[in-house]
Amino acid sequence: MTPRRRPSIRGKTVRERVVPSPTRQPINVDRYGGKWVAIWKREIIDADEDFDHLLGRLEEKGLDEKAALFRVPRTGRFVG
């Protein structure tokens, strides 16, 4: 009689997803707090408190479709 085979001990390999930060350096909350920030190629290229004005300047530069827009919360506010 042959011995009973154990199921494979090795399981499925676990892959960890790594998502890079949107900017190379942390966003300065004191400088950009309460503003809309335009990020392109992991750099902050423009910021303004008024979303429409920021979008207008990005359209003039031709970056309106390429840049990511992000609203930076003010100091002491938790968003989550």
Contact (CB, 8 A) for 45 and 71: no
Q: Tell me if 2 is assigned to some domain.
A: no
Instruction: Give per-residue pLDDT as tens, 29-38.
Output: 999 999 999 9
Is 43 domain-assigned? Answer: yes
pLDDT tens series, the chain, 80 aa: 666 766 666 667 788 999 888 999 999 999 999 999 999 999 999 999 999 999 999 999 999 899 999 999 988 766 66
In this structure, is residue 33 part of a structural domain? yes
Q: What is the three-class DSSP state of 61?
A: helix
Residue 42 within a domain: yes
Residue 50 domain flag: yes
SS3 state at 58 = helix
Q: Is 6 within the bounds of a domain?
A: no
Count of domains observed in the chain: 1
Q: Where are the beta strands (DSSP E) in 17-58?
A: 36-40, 43-48
The answer to whether the CB of 63 falls within 8 A of the CB of 45 is: yes
* Residues of the domain holding 46: 29-71
Q: How far apart are CA 31 and CA 70, in angstroms?
A: 14
Global pTM reads 0.70
